[in-house]
Amino acid sequence: MNCAELSQLLLDYFDGALPGLIAAELRQHAADCACCRSLVETYGLTVRLSADVAQAEVPPGVAQRVRDAVRALAEGQ
Ligand SMILES: [Zn+2]
């Protein structure tokens, strides 16, 4: 596997959609290549943070307050 292949497979890797052998090749390349290792780490962090945000609940009333604020801005108040 080379760097370009790794970057193209990254999304599937974090989705768990890669066959085990390919995932192992990806991990092996990342272990040997500092550039790809930081790519994998950064991407993994982004995926985890996105998952946290997706699970976070918006407190009641926040959506309404945001709509009110946007409307106030739009009306120039
Ligand atoms: Zn690489």
Cα 44 to ligand 1 centroid, rounded to whole Å: 16
Cα 46 to ligand 1 centroid, rounded to whole Å: 19
Number of domains within the chain: 1
Cα 35 to ligand 1 centroid, rounded to whole Å: 6
Cα gap 76→10, rounded to integer Å: 45
pLDDT of residue 6: 95
For residue 62, the enclosing domain spans: 3-74
pLDDT (tens place) for every residue of the chain, 77 residues total: 999 999 999 999 999 999 999 999 999 999 999 999 999 999 999 988 888 887 888 788 888 898 999 999 999 86
Cα 7 to ligand 1 centroid, rounded to whole Å: 8
For residue 66, the domain's CATH number is: 1.10.10
Over 3-70, what HEC string results? HHHHHHHHHHHHHCCCCHHHHHHHHHHHHHCHHHHHHHHHHHHHHHHHHHHHHCCCCCCHHHHHHHHH
